[in-house]
Amino acid sequence: MTHHHAESPLGFSTAAVHAGQDFDPTTGAVVPPVHFSSTYAQDGIGGLRGGYEYGRAANPTRSSLQTQLAAAEGGGHAFSFASGLAAEDALIRGVMRPGQRIVMGNDAYGGSYRLIDRIHGNWGIANTPLDLSDHDAVAAALDADDATVLWVETPSNPLMAITDIAALAEIAHSRSALLVVDNTFATPYLQRPLSLGADAVVHSTTKYIGGHSDVVGGAVVLGSDAAADDLAEQVGFQQFAVGAVSGPLDAYLTTRGLKTLGVRMDRHCSNAQAIAEHLVDHPAVDRVLYPGLSDHPGHELAKAQMRGFGGMVSVQLRGGNPRRGRSPRAPGCSSWPSRWAASSR
Ligand SMILES: Cc1ncc(COP(=O)(O)O)c(C=O)c1O
């Protein structure tokens, strides 16, 4: 794989293998034990050993994963949750209040839109879905007094649209809005949104970070400046007060997956490139959506802000239902998110 990149996270895999994974001081075990205990003995009332008291508040296996996730994203704080959507929910409820608005891509993952529209919408958080490649439209939507969060997913699931993180960070910050990036498809190995100006990164760790289809999870990762510390207070409080935390075994499996993320992503990138190039000439395929193809509209941008093009490829098949049309990104088309919103996934 070609590493054309603005920023290359030197030592990514070293950090992924070692951050938060100190050997066990009692036995010397090089892999920290999985801690299933819900409750912790104290040296007298309030005399906590290492800050642990009760598993919803903190668990050593979850703490290891959180340290490892923060290091992988080059951030200062990470919070691990029972699913990607639980992570998104904690972030949104931590940093937003009823009466505020979230501006987001009209091709975000359908489950994220369902959460934001049908759950947060009922609690007074409005949303404006739009085409994130139209920066004027994004700026205009953020000019609304109630707009406080800009939500970006790049590459997007499943249309593989690439969004300019640094440009949108500038637009969001000039209007005092927070920029959130869903980095699930890219992974921190290929893209570091915090270094491009994002205020928060969310993940479905169920995908590449877990990496073995045996664990569902999610994460919020924040930066390391004073503003990030404030956000961390809010997100940490949601995690503690609501409790949609990763269980110990989930946290352990996610940690084990993250250790090998780098080598797996290199292979995913080369496999996806080969498959995408092969499908371009396939008679049943109308269009291949992969940012590694030079005719993809986000190709140059992906080259600049990612270290590789990722492992996800989508195709539009020839034929199909003529009433629906074949263009998945008809301008202003909001039928995609709402149609997916109805799905049960
Ligand atoms: C881009 C993206 N974000 C968020 C999620 C939600 O994560 P989870 O399914 O772990 O709740 C998904 C899951 O499919 C996803 O693909």
d(Cα 320, Cα 20) in Å, to the nearest integer?
Answer: 49
Give how far Cα 19 sits from Cα of 14, 25, 66, Å: 8, 16, 9
- What is the per-residue pLDDT across 134-160, written as a single tens digit (0 to 9) for each? 999 999 999 999 999 999 999 999 999
pLDDT at 324: 56
Which atom of ligand 1 lies at the shortest distance from residue 184's CA?
1
205: CA distance to ligand 1 center in Å? Answer: 8
Confidence (pLDDT) at 343 = 41
Q: Domain 9-259 belongs to what topology?
A: Aspartate Aminotransferase; domain 2 (3.40.640)
Q: Which residues are catalytic?
A: 56, 109, 182, 207
**Of 207, 213, 214, 220, which is best to mutate to test ligand 1, by the most ligand atoms within 8 angstroms of its C-beta?**
207
Residue boundaries of the structural domains of the chain = 9-259
Q: What is the pLDDT of residue 18?
A: 94
Q: Report the run of H or E that residue 129 belongs to, with start and end.
A: strand 126-130
Both tokens of 1, joined, read 């794989």
Residue-level pLDDT at 319 = 85
Average pLDDT, integer, range 224-245: 98
Strand partners, 179: 150
How much is the mean pLDDT over the chain? 92
Give me the pLDDT at residue 161, please.
98
Compute the CA torsion angle 42, 44, 47, 49 (nearest 10 deg): -30
pLDDT of residue 322: 66
Of all protein residues, whose CA lies closest to atom 9 belonging to ligand 1?
A: 84
Range scoring the smallest mean pLDDT among 43-47, 105-109, 113-117, 230-234: 43-47
Q: What is the pLDDT of residue 335?
A: 38
Give the pLDDT of residue 10: 59
129 touches 269 (CB < 8 A) = no
Task: Report the residue among 184, 201, 254 best suited for mutation to probe ligand 1: largest number of ligand atoms under 8 A from its CB.
Answer: 184
Residue 320 has pLDDT above 90, yes or no: no
Position 321 pLDDT exceeds 80:
no
| 164 within ligand 1 shell (Cβ under 6 A) | no
Report the distance separating Cα 310 and Cα 121, nearest Å.
32
Does 246 sit in the ligand 1 pocket, CB within 6 Å?
no
pLDDT of residue 5: 40
* For residue 325, pLDDT beyond 60: no
